[in-house]
Structure 1
Amino acid sequence: MNALKLIALAGVMAVSMSALAEGGGDRAFEKMLSANTRAMKQYAANEGKAAPVVKDYEYGMKLDVVKVVSVVRPAVACAVVPAAMTYEDSRGLLNTIKYTVAGECRQRGG
């Protein structure tokens, strides 16, 4: 009976951790994006350039990437997660683009 209770408790904990990870992942990404925005403002100032404005990627958007300056890595999750990239275009302008990608799903077992 104790083993059954332990398995049930583990199942409940796994479901609640999954729910927390989903909401927590968005908060963690926003914190990382905020830190990246501050860092890119400083980078832009050091380079004598205008700070980039964060834009959401839209399907079909033409990107003129000459140099990738910074990447906000996607979360480790078995879901679609946000990511961001700051890059310099052929005119020397800094751009930051937010997009979604498939998270890196690291499941145990198999």
Structure 2
Amino acid sequence: MTVFGMKPVKVICAAALLLPASLSMAENEGRPSADSKELEEMVIYSRAPEVRDYEYGMRLDIADVVAMEYFPPEPDFCGVIPAQMTYEDSSGNLNTIRYLYPETAGCHDN
């Protein structure tokens, strides 16, 4: 079993990315520091690719989904909403695709 269910290569990459940030925070004691969630988002978005729009029939090479985001205008919306998925391909590159998602949380049959 690997650390926290992660593959060894990912553990090494995560440690290499987080080590400079932790050293920087140690040098800057007394200043407010980011919590672990903010650090994780900083690491993900610091290497986030340009967002591309999905086109019908586009071939996607999805090895691992990193993040899914949905943008409903209100909590119980019923209809099509914009969404985006950030994923890692089989070469280890990050990609982000924007697409339309059918939101059904607010849909009720009367």
Q: List per-residue Cα deviations over 1:62-90 (Å, max 9, x = no partner).
A: 00000000000252422111100000000
Deviations 1:3-60 (A, max 9, x none): xxxxxxxxxxxxxxxxxxxxxxxxxxxxxxxxxxxx7663265xxxx43110000000
1:81 maps onto 2:78 in alignment: no
CA contact (8 A) 1:86 1:97 kept: yes
Structure 2: distance between partners of 1:96 and 1:87? 6
Equivalent pair of 1:84/1:96 in contact (CA under 8 Å): yes
Instruction: Report the counterpart of residue 53 of structure 1 in structure 2.
Output: 50
Identity level (%): 43
The number of aligned residues is 68
Structure 2 regions of 5+ residues with no counterpart?
1-39
Give SS of 2:62's match: coil
Q: Secondary structure at the match of 1:65?
A: coil
- Cα RMSD of the aligned pairs, angstroms, is 2.4
Please report the TM-score for the alignment, with normalisation by the length of structure 1: 0.52
Query: Does structure 2 retain, via aligned residues, the 8 Å contact 1:55–1:97?
Result: yes
Instruction: Report if the CA contact (8 A) 1:74-1:101 is conserved.
Output: no
| Structure 1 unpaired stretches of 5+ | 1-38
- d(CA) in 2 for partners of 1:109 and 1:64? 37
| Secondary structure, counterpart of 1:42 in structure 2 | helix
